[in-house]
């Protein structure tokens, strides 16, 4: 079993839709959780990070962590064609705060 599981998609939605991207993880020692956006042939761009259960909002993006279920989600409201990218979830272990384990990424296309 992979430490971080992510539905690879691809996921295609119409412009303006609410997008839900999800990951599950297997190790309870995980401390920090991040979401990265990666455009084609570019490096990952940090969108959000959180270290506690609950929701964290930043503009159109909401990150949600449920540590009891080992489930993390990213919601995108009012999706735009410019949101079309691969979204990567990642986590760090407690005590090794800067070593990331990534999911395989979900490819999102927002259609105009």
| Whole-number Å distance between alpha carbons of 60 and 77 | 5
Please check whether residue 72 is in contact with residue 25, taking contact to mean a CB–CB distance below 8 angstroms: yes
Residues 16-55 as x/- pattern, contact with another protein by CB under 8 A? ---------------xx-x-x----xxxxxx--x-x----
Nearest CB to another protein, comparing residues 22 and 104:
104
Q: State how far the alpha carbon of 88 is from the alpha carbons of 63, 112, in Å.
A: 12, 23
Rounded to a whole number of angstroms, the minimum distance from the CB of residue 62 to another protein is: 18
CB count within 10 Å of CB 54 equals 10
Stretch touching another protein by CB under 8 A, among 13-21, 53-61, 72-80, 97-105: 97-105
Write out the residues near another protein by the rule CB under 8 A: 4, 6, 8, 31-32, 34, 36, 41-46, 49, 51, 88, 90, 92, 96-105
């Amino acid at each position: 079993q992979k430490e971080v599981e992510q539905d690879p998609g691809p996921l295609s939605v119409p412009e303006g839709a609410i997008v839900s991207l999800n990951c599950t993880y297997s190790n309870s020692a995980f401390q920090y959780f991040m979401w990265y956006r990666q455009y084609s042939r570019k490096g990952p761009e940090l969108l959000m990070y959180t270290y506690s259960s609950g929701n964290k909002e930043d503009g159109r993006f909401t990150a949600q962590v449920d540590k009891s279920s080992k489930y993390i989600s990213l919601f995108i409201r009012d999706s735009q064609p410019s949101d079309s990218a691969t979204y990567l979830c990642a986590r760090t272990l407690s005590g090794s705060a800067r070593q990331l384990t990534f999911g395989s990424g979900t490819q999102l296309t927002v259609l105009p």
